[in-house]
Amino acid sequence: LRLRLAGYPRKHNEGRVEVFYNEEWGTICDDDFTLGNAHVLCRQLGFVAATGWAHSAKYGKGVGRIWLDNVNCAGNEKSIGDCKHRGWGNSDCSHEEDAGVVCKDERIPGFKDSNVIEVRRLLSWPERAAGDGQDATECPGCGAVWELSLGVQESSTGFPGSWQGVGAWQAPVTGDTSTATGHTGHGSGLLSPHRLFTERQQLNYRLHSVSCTGTEVHLSMCSFEFYRGNSSAACGSGMPAVVSCVPGPLFATGSAHKKKQRQQQQQQGQPRIRLKGGARVGEGRVEVLRSSEWGTICDDRWNLQSASVVCRELGFGSAKEALTGARMGQGTGPIHLNEVQCRGTEKSLWNCPFRNITQEDCKHTEDAAVRCNIPYMGYENLIRLSGGRSRFEGRVEVAVGAGNGDQPRWGLVCGEGWGTLEAMVACRQLGLGFANHGLQETWYWDASNVTEMVMSGVKCAGHEMSLSHCQHHGASLSCRNTGTRFAAGVICSETASDLLLHAPLVQETAYIEDRPLHMLYCAAEENCLASSARLANWPYGHRRLLRFSSQIHNRGRADFRPKAGRHSWVWHECH
C-alpha cells in the first residue's frame, strides 16, 4: 500500500495523507482520527513516529476518492490498511475533512526512500596526507585522510550494522573516489597510495573489492563483497582504503583560493545555475539561467542522480536529498526545464536530457530543490548561544585562539553595527536556519559567565559560512560600549519570508502626474513628498509626481511580519 504526503505549505515530514489504492490516489477522512492512526501512517512513510495530526484539510483539499473513513488504529499495525475502518471507498465525507499528519523528523534506520540518502559523518584524522601543503585548519578533512565507513542496518538490508573499515579498494581509479569524496561533501578525490594508521590500532575489515562507476551518490550503492569470519585477520595483503579529497571553491580559504575563483569566473562567465531559498550552505531551490532569465525546474522525475549533477557543478559533493513539491519555497518567473534525467556522469545539468516546459505541465508548487553533502568544516564548534528561551535565540559567543592546538577562549561580539546580515551568518554557522533578528542589546539574556568582548566591527555580506570570514577589527578591538548588555544576539528560525518586488510591473505602470498642492496635504503629512515641497506656496501650485503600481511576492516558507510590532503601527486616514 503506497502512501504520500501532499499539500502546501508544509515541511517534508508533514502534509495531507494520500493513499494509492485500486490504481488511484485518494485521501483519508478526519472522522474519529487519532494519534494512533498518525503513528501507523508516519511509520509507513518511513518516519519513526508521529508528533501530531491535522483535521479539516489543513494542508489543502485533495482530489479524487476519499478512500478511508472512521479509521481506528491501535498504533502497532504495520499498515493503515490493517486498521479498522468503514471499508475502502465507503465514506460520508467531503474533501474539506481531509486528514493530515505531522511526523517526527527522524527516519527509520534502513528505510529506503529513492530520494533520500542518510549519511553518517565520516571520521577524519588530524595528520595530513604526505606531500599535502594545505593547512588542516583551513578545511578539516579536505586535505586530511579519511577512513571510509559504512553504516546500514543489517536487519533490513544485509549490510553490517556496525561502523567498520573498508578494505582492499579494487583499483585506484577516480570513479571510486568520486563516489567516496562525493558523499563526504567534496567534489572529487584521488587515492592516496601510502600506508597510514595501519599500525595505529587493530583494524576490523568488513568490505573488499569495492567497485564504483563514479555516478553513485553513496558508497553503499557501489558493488562490493563482504569478509566472512574473522574480520581482524582479513585484508592480509592489503591496507585500509584511503582517499585525499579536493575541496570545492567555497571550502578552500586564503588569497590563492580567491585568485583561482576569480580566474574561473572570468573563464566561465556568468554562472547558469544557482540555489535559492535554502538556509544552509549547499541547499536550496534549483534555478537555471536561460535566454537571460532565471527560472526554476519542475520536479517531474527529479531524483538523486540529477540532484548530484547540480551539487557537483556548484562545487559540493553528491546530493543528500532530491526535494520535490517546492520544499525550498516557490520561485517566480518561468519554469525552464521538466523531466530532467541525468545519468550522473554529466559535468553540468545542461548536458542532461530534459523536456521543454509547456504551460499546462507544471506550476511553481512543483519546483525542484536539493540538499548537497558538504565537507565537515567544524565552524559550528566555534560559536554558541547563551541565555535564550530556546536553542534558536540568545547572546552570541565565539571561540578565539583555537587554531594552534590551544584551548579556545570564549567571548562576546560587540553589538555596535550588528544587523540582519551578520545575524544571517551567525545562524548559518550555528546550523539554525535563517535570521529573524540581529540584536544590538542583550541585557535580558544575561545568563552566562562569559563577559569579555573578543570581536568587534563585524561587517558581513550575508553569504559567509562563518563570522570569522566577515570583516572585523581582528585583535584591535574597538567597541564604545563594552558591557555585556551591549553584546550581539540573534533570533534564528528554520523558515523565513523572502520578499521580491515585481520590477516589470513598476516599469509597465509608471507615469508622470502634475497634482495640485491642495490635494497633497495628506501626502505631505506622511513625508511622501520631497523636502523641497516645504518651500512651496501652499495651497497654490502643483508638484510633479512619479506614479506606479507595485506588487511584492513572498517566495519564502514563512509569513512576512513587519519589523515594527503592532504597537507602533499607525493608521493614515488619507490612505
What is the chain's pLDDT, residue by residue, as a tens digit (575 residues)?
Answer: 889 888 866 777 889 999 999 888 899 999 999 999 999 999 999 899 999 999 999 988 988 999 999 999 998 899 999 999 999 999 999 999 999 999 988 888 767 665 554 444 444 444 333 334 444 445 554 544 344 444 332 222 223 333 344 443 433 344 555 665 566 566 655 444 344 444 445 677 778 888 888 878 777 778 888 777 666 667 777 778 877 777 777 787 654 555 565 566 555 556 789 999 888 889 999 999 988 889 999 988 888 889 999 999 999 988 988 888 888 888 888 999 988 999 888 999 999 998 877 656 788 888 999 999 988 888 999 999 999 999 999 999 999 876 666 778 899 999 999 999 999 999 999 999 999 899 999 988 887 888 899 999 999 998 899 999 999 998 888 898 888 889 999 999 988 888 888 888 899 999 999 999 999 988 888 888 888 998 999 999 899 999 899 888 888 888 887 777 778 887 765 55
CA distance 14 to 4: 10
Same structural domain for residues 383 and 489? Answer: yes
Same structural domain for residues 347 and 427? Answer: no
Same structural domain for residues 91 and 38? Answer: yes
59 within some domain: yes
Long-range CB contacts for residues 269-277, cutoff 8 Å, separation at least 24: 272/348, 272/350, 273/310, 273/313, 273/314, 273/348, 273/349, 274/314, 275/310, 275/314, 275/369, 275/370, 276/328, 276/329, 276/331, 276/555, 277/328, 277/329, 277/331, 277/369, 277/498, 277/555, 277/556, 277/557
CA distance 5 to 88: 19
Task: Calculate ∠ Cα 29-31-35, nearest 5°.
Answer: 95
Identify the domain boundary among 322, 347, 372: 372
CA distance 425 to 485: 21
Same structural domain for residues 489 and 385? Answer: yes
Q: Which helix (H) or strand (E) holds 15?
A: strand 14-21
Any alpha helices (H) in 336-478, and if so which ranges?
A: 420-430
Identify the domain boundary among 372, 401, 431: 372
Q: Provide the CATH number for the domain around residue 324.
A: 3.10.250.10
184 within some domain: no
Identify the domain boundary among 372, 390, 412: 372
Same structural domain for residues 32 and 9? Answer: yes
Domain that holds residue 509: 501-554
Q: Strands 335-338 and 293-297: what pairing? A: parallel
Same structural domain for residues 349 and 290? Answer: yes
277 within some domain: yes
Number of C-beta neighbours around residue 23 at 10 A: 5
Same structural domain for residues 315 and 342? Answer: yes
Cell numbers 585525499 label which residue? 244
514 within some domain: yes
Whether omega before 9 lies within 30 degrees of 0, making that bond cis, reads yes
pLDDT of res. 86: 92
CA distance 262 to 259: 5
Task: Calculate ∠ Cα 138-140-144, nearest 5°.
Answer: 110
pLDDT of res. 271: 78
pTM over 0.85: no
3-state secondary structure 546-562: EECCCCEEECCCCCCCC
- The total number of structural domains in the chain stands at 4
pLDDT of res. 52: 93
pLDDT of res. 297: 93
- For residue 295, give the C-alpha cell: 527560472
Same structural domain for residues 352 and 396? Answer: no
CA distance 427 to 489: 10
571 within some domain: no
- For residue 218, give the C-alpha cell: 553513496
160 within some domain: no
The residue among 8, 275, 40, 247 whose CA lies nearest residue 134 is 247
Same structural domain for residues 433 and 507? Answer: no
Same structural domain for residues 505 and 487? Answer: no
Task: Calculate ∠ Cα 56-43-95, nearest 5°.
Answer: 20
Same structural domain for residues 484 and 389? Answer: yes
pLDDT of res. 70: 94
- For residue 292, give the C-alpha cell: 537571460
Same structural domain for residues 389 and 459? Answer: yes
Q: Which amino acid is at 174?
A: T
286 within some domain: yes
233 within some domain: no
